[in-house]
Amino acid sequence: MQNNSDKYILIIWDSMTGGSKAMAQAAAQGVSTDTETPNRVIILHADDVNDTDMLGALGYIFVFPERLAAISGPMKSFFDRNYYPCLGQIEARPYAMMICAGSDGENALRQGMRICQGWRLKPVQKAIIIKTYAQTNEEILAPKTISKGDLQKCYDLGALLTNGLSMGIF
């Protein structure tokens, strides 16, 4: 836990080549536009999140890559560790999901949404899939740059979640 606020949005990310990390950071900036609520955002790598972090949050943004047509390993491990400790205790909280993918992303999204449905979380908008169009081995393993326009979508989603919470919509 990095923050002593009891009214935070928790952004949980995993990334190997930087794309999802940049998306998570953009979403965190969007949440931080909510200046009336200090310490509004906590952003943590999937490996560092425990059930106390989860239970204390008002809402969630999950950001991760698709790998081998699935949720990336550390993100899956986060869900595995925290699913039952949180089950029945976070129902109806709002969430958003953002996937970074080479050319697809749909399977990772389906898996992530299925888990969040099990938790009975409420999606605040359609998930974002951002494609980096890496094809060759070299391109797939290279650091990723997310376009300004795509980062803006992540920022807007963070702003939407915090503003919706502040206004009591979510």
- Residue numbers of the site for ligand FMN (CB under 6 A)? 15-20, 65-69, 100-105, 132, 134, 140, 144
Least CB distance from residue 129 to ligand FMN, whole Å? 9
Q: Between 45 and 122, whose beta carbon lies closer to ligand FMN?
A: 45
Give all strands (DSSP E) within the chain, no chain letters.
8-13, 41-45, 57-67, 70-71, 94-101, 122-123, 128-131
Least CB distance from residue 121 to ligand FMN, whole Å? 22
Question: Using alpha carbons only, what angle is made at residue 97 by residues 87 and 31, rounded to the nearest 5 degrees?
Answer: 100
Least CB distance from residue 73 to ligand FMN, whole Å? 9
Tokens 């204390």, residue located: 56
Least CB distance from residue 37 to ligand FMN, whole Å? 28
Q: Between 93 and 144, whose beta carbon lies closer to ligand FMN?
A: 144
Q: Between 69 and 169, whose beta carbon lies closer to ligand FMN?
A: 69
Contacts of 60 (CB under 8 A, 6+ apart): 9, 10, 11, 12, 54, 93, 94, 95, 96, 121
DSSP state of 53: H
Q: Between 22 and 86, whose beta carbon lies closer to ligand FMN?
A: 22
